[in-house]
A and B are shown apart, each in its own frame.
Chain A
């Protein structure tokens, strides 16, 4: 303990153990007064406090990273929707009892029902194929004109395992910022942060191996464009 005393103040019980909460400002008033009084008399603890404030300062430095909770929330909601059905089926006592005591007649009836559903699905599938051949193709791509986020000039898809630091570095270099996304398909909508021509930012994105796809948003007007 003597080594610890040498490192963290004078080691007086109830003082050095509370220094972190004195530093973060969450300590109650009576404790604060007690520590203040001790600090006025103890150079070791004043030194300890000074060093601890430097650690605190270093740990509270802000990151440059921006988070986009909307897409994460969408995934949580989808998960809740998925879990809801499973929970309802599996968690009720009646469902559990019937699962345990299903007689063979019920098994047969269930099998027949499954076969009937499968046959109807097959028939429906055939009918849909015939309809599809007759109709024009209808599909969505990342460049399909769609509601555009404000200021969006580029749509991009990044490598799935890209870190936030790398993503931010690429955006900083291309002088772009995220205005929407990622969509279900992982597409980000990017706007320009500067007067850099969109074509130049696009070329930079495309040259990066962590960028899977980058395309100018159709009909967008960005820096460097002649009106």
Chain B
């Protein structure tokens, strides 16, 4: 996407959110359909059940509907919406974990096999990601799956930039230990770190 197209998309999101704040249901519908695919693909990396994905997306847009009038433009609309989704997902995933219903390896969504990326490494990666603490994994996914910048992730997660860097560093380091073909290690589970 060119810079011009990005700016135009941002302006359109802003207009939609202003309309949502005024109670315009059509604007909410457009915003919902515009973000649904991105959020669904992102969330389906954490839970295989569509009803969970849908619940998180709808909870997110319920907050958007109720809080649009409070949006002051301190960040982009997309960052604000993804931030709400992040907090909703974090709450939901923690609840699932507490109920011993967190994403199991057997349940995790299968990715299309990339011919240049062998199946064994793909499997190691899937297992490694599922073992990361949820905040570290979300940080990694926000950067790699959604393509967010360091500053955007700090805004989305409502954390200082330093915390985001630290989470990312620990996530990468643990992943290398889990992935022998990538990190040269034995693939043993590393000791837990903050």
Task: List CB contacts (< 8 Å) of A51-85 with chain B.
Answer: 51-52, 54-65, 67, 69, 72-73, 75-77, 79-80, 83
Q: Quick one: given A8-B176, A61-B112, are A67 and B144 in contact (CB under 8 Å)? A: no
Task: Give the distance in Å from the alpha carbon of A16 to the alpha carbon of B37 in the complex.
Answer: 32
CB-based contact A69/B145 at 8 Å: no
Task: List CB contacts (< 8 Å) of B44-65 with chain A.
Answer: 44, 48-51, 54, 57-58, 61-62, 65
**B179-191 contact mask (Cβ, 8 Å, vs A): 1 or 0:** 1001100000000
CB-based contact A65/B109 at 8 Å: yes
CB-based contact A69/B62 at 8 Å: no
Task: Give the distance in Å from the alpha carbon of A63 to the alpha carbon of B149 in the complex.
Answer: 23
* Chain B residues whose C-beta falls within 8 Å of the C-beta of A79 in the assembled complex: 58, 62
Residue count of chain A within 8 Å CB distance of chain B: 43
CB-based contact B117/A76 at 8 Å: no
Residue count of chain B within 8 Å CB distance of chain A: 54
- Does any Cβ of B come within 8 Å of A110's Cβ? no
- CB < 8 Å: which of A24, A26, A55, A160 contacts B182? A55
Closest chain B residue to A31, Cβ basis: B150
Q: Quick one: given A7-B173, A7-B176, A58-B121, are A51 and B183 in contact (CB under 8 Å)? A: yes
* Interface-facing stretch out of A114-122, A161-169, A217-225: A161-169
Task: Give the distance in Å from the alpha carbon of A59 to the alpha carbon of B61 in the complex.
Answer: 26
CB-based contact A58/B176 at 8 Å: no
Closest chain B residue to A19, Cβ basis: B172
Main SS at interface, chain B: helix
CB-based contact B58/A59 at 8 Å: no
- Does any Cβ of A come within 8 Å of B98's Cβ? no
- Does any Cβ of A come within 8 Å of B148's Cβ? yes
CB-based contact A67/B36 at 8 Å: yes
Q: Quick one: given A26-B147, A26-B148, A65-B44, are A20 and B172 in contact (CB under 8 Å)? A: yes
CB-based contact B183/A164 at 8 Å: no
Task: List CB contacts (< 8 Å) of B131-180 with chain A.
Answer: 140-141, 143-145, 147-150, 152, 165, 168-169, 172-173, 175-177, 179
CB-based contact A76/B58 at 8 Å: yes
CB-based contact A24/B114 at 8 Å: no
- Does any Cβ of B come within 8 Å of A195's Cβ? no
* Interface-facing stretch out of B25-33, B67-75, B85-93: B25-33
Task: Give the distance in Å from the alpha carbon of A65 to the alpha carbon of B111 in the complex.
Answer: 9
CB-based contact B36/A69 at 8 Å: yes
Closest Cβ of chain A: how far from B120's Cβ, in Å? 11
CB-based contact A55/B175 at 8 Å: yes
CB-based contact A73/B169 at 8 Å: no
CB-based contact A69/B183 at 8 Å: no
Task: Give the distance in Å from the alpha carbon of A16 to the alpha carbon of B107 in the complex.
Answer: 33
Task: List CB contacts (< 8 Å) of A11-59 with chain B.
Answer: 16-18, 20-21, 23-27, 51-52, 54-59
CB-based contact B109/A7 at 8 Å: no
Closest chain A residue to B108, Cβ basis: A165
- Report, nearest first, the 8 A-B pairs whose CB atoms are least far apart: A26-B149, A69-B36, A61-B111, A59-B144, A58-B125, A67-B40, A76-B58, A163-B48
Q: A63-B109, A163-B48 are in contact. List 17 more A-B contacts (CB 8 A).
A: A4-B173, A7-B173, A18-B165, A20-B140, A23-B144, A58-B111, A58-B125, A59-B145, A61-B111, A63-B112, A65-B44, A67-B41, A69-B40, A76-B62, A79-B58, A163-B107, A165-B48
